[in-house]
Amino acid sequence: MDLQGETILNELTVTRVKHFCQVYHPADVLDVFENLEDNQLIEKMAILPDDYLIEMIELAEEDSQSRLIKLLSVERVSHLFMEMSPDIIVDILGNLPVGTRKHYVKLMTQSDQADIRQLLSYDPESAGGIMTTDFISLKDYWTVDKAFNKIREISPNSEVIDTLFITSNHNRLVGYLPMRDLFRADLQTILADIMNRQVITVEPQIDQEEVAKLSLKYDINVIPVVNPRHVLLGIVTADDILDVLNEEHQEDMLRMSGVNEEEDLDDSFWSSLSKRLPWLTINLLTAFLASFVVGLFESTISQVASLAAAMTIITGMGGNSASQTLALVIRCFE
């Protein structure tokens, strides 16, 4: 552990925890925590306040999230879940054993259970799988004054408050309203008169990559998810879209090298071999084919020695051209 890591651990004490949370970012603390033994980690997490620990868990990778959750008591995890957004809870539960997952869901309130079960029913890589149900929805016949009162009431439990979604009396999504436009309007103005009716929506079964493409195409940082009757189910936020873009980028880079996206540095030799062998076999066969073609012109090459020197140049340029073409094709299909 480096000097900064030791400093962070020494600073994290019961008497200095308030100062600690103000000075050190959760992401930096998380890097240090990943190198601790389980007993040390349990001891340090017990000191941290819930809001700080929640931020750490949300920033952690899947494996780290699972480890942190497993080392916490059931009571504290249940309390933390009450303060988390549903999409984060679903991501965490998805990496836990089925029995543990069901146990945590049973400890939630009835309304939270319904939201979590709905999100768990969707494909993890679909719009429904990455959406959150924490959003602000207002009725189109409300006045601006009533909208402000409603926002004050529900904003503490909402993930996105800069975009307001407007629904009809039958809960159908009919428009959206940026928060700044609400501040500019007169208090007695009806929301239907100032809302934007050009809403870009997706259905829950749409692939997450398509959602990210829509976000880039229309330059929007939140996309509502609706059912076939256009009832608002949830929203996909900018941080989820960034995660999708990063994930898809990594998959494309691995595929360019013929590496399985499921492979990890910690995998065993035989596991890595089984994942790489198909592409290595194809490369070997094409190499034999190229060697066979060169062999057909062996007599010509023996007469003109300069051709032998040019062979490496040609194969090198061919490989470079193929890599450039592959990169261009992947970019065009994104």
Domains and CATH numbers, the chain: 3-130 (1.25.60.10), 137-238 (3.10.580.10), 249-333 (no CATH)
CB 59 within 8 A of CB 30: yes
Per-residue confidence (pLDDT) for residue 53, from 0 to 100: 94
Q: Taking Cα atoms as reference points, which of 197, 199, 163 lies closest to residue 181?
A: 163
3-state class of 76 per DSSP?
A: helix
* CA 324, 330, 332, 334 torsion-angle sign: negative
Dihedrals φ, ψ of 234, to 5°?
180, -170
Helix%, strand%, coil% for the chain, nearest 5: 65, 10, 25
Q: What is the largest CA-CA distance in the chain?
A: 93
Write down the H helix ranges in 121-237.
127-130, 144-154, 179-184, 191-194, 208-218
The H-or-E segment that residue 172 falls in is none
* pLDDT value at residue 176: 95
Q: What is the pLDDT of residue 52?
A: 94
Q: Amino acid identity, residue 87?
A: D
Residues of the chain with pLDDT under 70: 1-3, 157, 159-160, 252-267, 269, 273, 301, 305-309, 322, 326-334
Q: Are 75 and 41 in contact (CB under 8 A)?
A: no
What local confidence, expressed as pLDDT, does residue 14 receive? 87
Contacts for 44 with CB less than 8 Å, ≥ 6 apart:
9, 12, 33, 36
Q: Give the integer Cα–Cα distance in Å for 130 and 123.
A: 9
Give just the sign of the alpha carbon dihedral 205, 206, 208, 214.
negative
- CA–CA separation, 294 and 301 (whole Å): 9
What pTM, to 2 d.p., does this model score? 0.67
Render pLDDT for 111-129 as a digit per residue (tens, 0 to 9). Answer: 788 888 888 889 988 999 9
Q: What are phi and psi of 120, to 5 degrees?
A: -70, -20
Residue carrying the six token digits 């600073």: 11
pLDDT at 49: 93
pLDDT attached to residue 217:
92
Q: What is the pLDDT of residues 16-60, one digit of tens each?
A: 898 899 999 999 999 999 889 999 999 999 999 999 999 999 999
- Residue 329: the pLDDT is 66
Q: Of 238, 198, 206, 242, which is closest to residue 222 (Cα–Cα)?
A: 238
Q: Which residues, in sequence order, are CB contacts of 264 under 8 Å at separation 6+?
A: none
Q: What pLDDT sits at residue 325?
A: 73
Return d(Cα 43, Cα 47) in angstroms, integer.
7
d(CA 222, CA 217): 12
Dihedral angle sign, alpha carbons of residues 106, 107, 113, 116: negative
- In the block, which residue shows the tokens 């719009």? 127
pLDDT the model gives residue 298: 73
